[in-house]
Structure 1
Amino acid sequence: MPRSEPLPRTVRLLLLARVVNQLGAFSLPFLTALICADHDVSLTTAGLVSAAFGLATIPSRLAGGGLADRIGGRTTIVLGLCGCAVAQLAIAASTSLAWTVVAAVLLGLAFELYEPPSQAIIGESVPERQRVRAFSLLSAALAAGGMGAGLLAALLGRWDLRWLFVTDAATCLVCALLVRLALPRDRPAPRPAPDRGDQGERDDRDDRGRSAVRPLRDRALLTVLATGTAYALINQQTVIALPLALARRGLPGADAGLLFTAAAATTVLAQPLARLAWTSRLTTPVALAFAHLLLAAGLVGYALARTLPALLASAAVWSLGDLLIMGRVYALVTDLAPRGGSGRYLAVFGTSWGIAATLAPILGTQLLAHAGTTALWSVMACLCVLLAALHLRLTPRPSGPAGLPLGRTARAGTQGAAARS
Structure 2
Amino acid sequence: MSVAALRRAAKESVAGLPREFWWLWTSTLVNRLGAFVLTFLALYLTAQRDFSASYAGLVASLIGCGGVIASMLGGVLADRFGRRPTLLGAQLATSATVAVLAFVRDPVWIAVTGFALGLASNASRPAVQAMMADIVRPADRVRAFSLNYWAINLGFAVSSVYAGFLVAQSYTVGFLVEAGMTFACACVVFVKVKESRPERTAPVAGAAPSAPVTMGTVLRDRRFMLMVGLSFLVAVVFTQSSVGLPIVMGENGLTSADVGIVASVNGAIIVALQIPLTRFIERRDPGRLLTFSSLLIGYGFALTAFAGSLATYALTVAVWTLGEMVNAPTQSGLVARLAPAEGRGRYQGVYTTSWSAAALVAPLAGGWVLDSAGAGWLWAGCAVLGTVAAAGYWLLMRGLPGRRPAAPAPVSVAASADGATTDTVSRVA
For this structure pair, what is the TM-score category when the shorter chain's length is used for normalisation?
0.7 to 0.9
Q: Distance in 2 between matches of 1:154 and 1:67?
A: 35
Aligned residue number for residue 199 of structure 2: 190
Compared with structure 1, are the counterparts of its residues 162 and 375 closer, same or farther at alpha carbon in structure 2 (3 Å cutoff)? farther
Q: Name the structure 2 match of 1:390.
A: 392
CA contact (8 A) 2:75 2:346 kept: yes
Provide Cα deviations, 1:157-212, integer angstroms capped at 9, x if missing partner.
2112333322211111011111111112x255434889xxxx968xx5xxxxx963
* Residue 178 (1) aligns with residue 180 (2): no
User: What do residues 266-310 of structure 1 show as CA deviations (whole Å, max 9, x unaligned)?
Assistant: 11222212212xx44432221100111221342133221111122
1:126 is aligned to: 136
1:19-63 Cα distance to aligned partner (Å, 9 max, x none):
111112111122222223454332112211211111111111112
Alignment correspondent of 2:265: 262
Query: What residue is the counterpart of 1:50 in the other structure?
Result: 60
> Which residue of 2 is the match for residue 360 of structure 1?
362
Match of 2:278 among 274, 279, 304: 274
Identity %: 31
Q: RMSD of aligned C-alpha atoms? A: 2.5
Deviation at 1:94, TM superposition (A): 0.5
Partner Cα distance (1:103, 1:349) in 2: 25
State how 1:10-21 maps to structure 2 within 5 Å.
10-21=20-31
- For structure 1, the residue ranges without an aligned partner over 5 or more in a row are 205-209, 400-404, 409-416
> Judging changes above 3 Å, is the alpha-carbon distance between structure 1 residues 325 and 53 closer, same or farther for their aligned structure 2 residues?
same
| Paired AA for residue 68 in structure 1 | A
2-structure distance, mates of 1:339, 1:60: 21
* Contact 2:72/2:346 (<8 A) preserved: yes
In the alignment, does 2:107 pair up with 1:97?
yes
Distance, in Å, in 1 between the alignment partners of 2:396 and 2:331 is 13
Residue 146 in 1 paired to residue 149 in 2?
A: no
2:239 counterpart residue number: 236
Normalising by structure 2, we get a TM-score of 0.85
Letter aligned with residue 65 of structure 2: L
Residue 338 of structure 2 is aligned to residue 336 of structure 1 = yes
Distance in 2 (CA, whole Å) between partners of 1:165 and 1:377 is: 35
Q: Matched residues in 2 for 1:418 and 1:351: separation?
A: 21
Which one of the candidate residues 52, 73, 76 is aligned to 1:63?
73
The 2-side partners of 1:280 and 1:397 are apart by: 20
Moved over 6 A (4+): none
How has the CA–CA distance of structure 1 residues 254 and 345 changed in structure 2, closer, same or farther, with 3 Å as cutoff?
same
Q: In structure 1, what is the equivalent of residue 409 of structure 2?
A: none
Q: d(CA) in 2 for partners of 1:28 and 1:393?
A: 37
Q: 1:418 to 1:163 in 2, by over 3 A?
A: closer
- Is the contact between residue 283 and residue 397 of structure 1 (CA under 8 Å) also seen in structure 2? no
Query: Aligned partner of 1:394: which letter?
Result: L
Change (3 A) 1:330 1:96: same
**8 Å contact kept, 2:305–2:376:** yes
- What is the identity, as a one-letter code, of the residue corresponding to 2:323? G
The Cα of 1:133 is off from its aligned counterpart by 1.0
Is 1:212 equivalent to 2:202 in the alignment? no
1:223 aligns with 2:233: no
Greater CA drift, 378-387 or 140-149: 378-387
Q: 1:183 to 1:258 in 2, by over 3 A?
A: same
Match for 2:142: what amino acid? V
d(CA) in 2 for partners of 1:368, 1:254:
22
Shift of 1:390: 1.5
Q: Do the aligned partners of 2:143 and 2:282 also contact (CA within 8 Å) in 1? A: no
Cα–Cα, structure 1 residues 36 and 392, in superposed 2: closer, same or farther, change >3 Å?
Answer: same
Q: Which amino acid aligns with 1:146?
A: F
Which protein has greater RCO, CA pairs closer than 8 Å, 6+ apart? Answer: 2
Distance 1:225 1:396 in 2: 17
Q: Is the 8 A contact 2:238 2:297 kept in 1?
A: no
Secondary structure at 1:356 match in 2: helix
Amino acid aligned to 1:70: R
- Over 3 Å counting, the alpha-carbon distance change for 1:418 and 1:112 in structure 2 is closer
SS of corresponding position for 1:270: helix
* Residues 13 and 278, structure 2, Cα contact 8 Å, conserved in 1: no
1:190 partner letter: E
Give aligned pairs, total: 393
Alpha-carbon distance in 1 for matches of 2:202, 2:224: 20
Aligned equivalents of 2:181 and 2:293: distance in 1?
Answer: 33
Partner of 1:76: 86
Are residue 351 (structure 1) and residue 356 (structure 2) matched? no
Partner residue, 2:32: 22
Structure 1 residues 249 and 82: alpha-carbon distance in aligned structure 2, compared to 1, 3 A threshold = same
